[in-house]
Amino acid sequence: MANAEHLKLVRSGVEAVNRFAQEHPDVPLDLQDADLSGLDLHDARLNVARLSGANLEGANLRKARLNAADMRNCNLQKADLSGATLHRADLTGADLRGAHIEAIGGDNQRLCLAPQSFQGVRWNREDLEHMLAVMNLNPDWEVRFEIVPKPGK
């Protein structure tokens, strides 16, 4: 359950979120299971935020800082994560279908690939194909793949 004060803070805007992050660097925002769908959180400092189970569908998270955020089981469908930093974020079980993630091959952006990047995460087929194509830019190795639906899906 989200902290009511933190939820109010986030809904008041990015400036308030970033001011809080600057004034309280050791206090992670607790937004667990919160409905943040459609919110404009571009450039928000959400490092180490507790977002597990949150609904961020359609949220604007462009250039948001989500390093080490707990994003397990988040609904990130159709969210804009262009330029967002997700270093060490735990995306276990998150739904990223339809999310816009420039970090997959964009200039100067990175998606930290860790087991949590894929464990139970729902990706669009196109995103997976793009990630694998970027990996094939490596001059020493070639990734060969076939993406097929699991039986019963």
- Average pLDDT estimate for 43-71: 96
Q: How confident is the model at residue 46 (pLDDT cuts 50, 70, 90)?
A: very high
What pLDDT, on the 0 to 100 scale, is given for residue 142? Answer: 82
Classify residue 59 by burial, with Cβ atoms within 10 Å: 0-12, 13-18, 19+. buried
**What is the DSSP annotation of 67-136?**
TT-B-TT-B-TT-B-TT-B-TT-B-TT-B-TT-B-TTTT-TT------HHHHTT-B--HHHHHHHHHHHT
Q: How confident is the model at residue 118 (pLDDT cuts 50, 70, 90)?
A: low
Give CATH for domain 1-123: 2.160.20.80
Query: CA nearest 117: which of 140, 86, 146, 148?
Result: 86
* Placement of tokens 């450039």 in the chain: 43
Q: What are phi and psi of 7, to 5 degrees?
A: -65, -45
**What is the spatial distance between Cα 37 and Cα 140, in angstroms, rounded to a whole number?**
42
What pLDDT, on the 0 to 100 scale, is given for residue 19? Answer: 97
Torsion, CA 119, CA 97, CA 88, CA 21, rounded to 10: -140
What pLDDT, on the 0 to 100 scale, is given for residue 105? Answer: 46
Contacts of residue 138, Cβ cutoff 8 Å, sequence gap at least 6 = none
Domain ranges of the chain: 1-123
What pLDDT, on the 0 to 100 scale, is given for residue 117? Answer: 62
**What is the spatial distance between Cα 7 and Cα 30, in angstroms, rounded to a whole number?**
8
pLDDT tens per residue, range 70-117: 999 999 999 999 889 888 899 889 998 888 876 444 454 555 656 666
- Average pLDDT estimate for 123-135: 78
pLDDT tens per residue, range 14-45: 999 999 999 999 999 999 999 999 999 999 99
| Greater model confidence, 118 or 46 | 46
